[in-house]
Amino acid sequence: MDEIVQQAMLKWPNVPDCYGWLGLDARGNWYMRDEAAQHAGAFSSGLPGAKGSRLEHAGLIAFIQRNYASDNKGRWYFQNGPQRVYVELEATPWIWRVHQDLHIQAHDGQRVTRLDSLVDEHGWLYLQTSLGFGLVHTQDVGEAAQAMEQQGWTLHEVARAELESRFQYQRSPHAWQQRA
């Protein structure tokens, strides 16, 4: 976490949390969700306009990714100065990129070590890694298949409906907050 963020948290410790305004899609892209996007539907609903606007500014994306973490309830957030901005997840908290040399990298650029490989009933490929649990980017399934062959990855079946509880994350902190 950035030092300036940590200083802001100490200076203003009681800033209310923010829900529903930021999303991470299944390809590792960040989205800003204004009121219109939130009213259009849940981030992962697939409804027109519900995702919001894709962030393109490299500096902003890097800042978000450096200050991306989870709380003890499995809710992922971006610590924006003193304010915690909870992230709506289209799929999982991490999106993995598998490169041609078969190394694995998180959507934020961190290199990771694969610990386990899973596939759900829809054919989506997930990895448990040294950083946590996430989805393999759709463009990298070919490289992942190559890694399975060359590195002897064992593939385990998992039900998509069980992922959040099994890997202890929440796809929609906003929905959780509204129920609380």
What is the tens place of the pLDDT at every residue in 134-173?
999 999 999 999 999 999 999 999 999 999 999 999 999 9
Residue 8: pLDDT band with limits 50, 70, 90: confident
Quick count: other Cβ atoms within 10 Å of Cβ 155? 14
> Coil, strand or helix: which one is 160?
helix
Could you give the CA distance from residue 134 to residue 132 in angstroms, rounded to a whole number?
Answer: 7
Residue 177: pLDDT band with limits 50, 70, 90: confident
The pLDDT of residue 180: 64
The pLDDT of residue 41: 95
Q: What's the Cα-to-Cα distance from 174 to each of 54, 94, 158, rounded to whole Å?
A: 19, 18, 25
pLDDT (mean) for 22-41: 97
Closest of 155, 146, 136, 65 to residue 96, by C-alpha: 136
The amino acid occupying position 17 is D
Residue ranges of domains in the chain: 3-91+169-179, 94-167
The pLDDT of residue 2: 80
What is the average pLDDT value for the chain, to the nearest integer?
94
Query: How would CATH label the architecture of 3-91+169-179?
Result: Roll (3.10)
pLDDT of 90 strictly over 90: yes
pLDDT (mean) for 45-69: 97
Beta pairing class for 83-89 and 94-98:
unpaired
Percent of the chain at pLDDT exceeding 70 = 98
DSSP single-letter state for residue 74: S
Closest of 105, 126, 103, 129 to residue 115, by C-alpha: 129
User: What are φ and ψ of residue 137, in 5° steps?
Assistant: -55, 140
pLDDT (mean) for 7-31: 89
pLDDT of 5 strictly over 70: yes
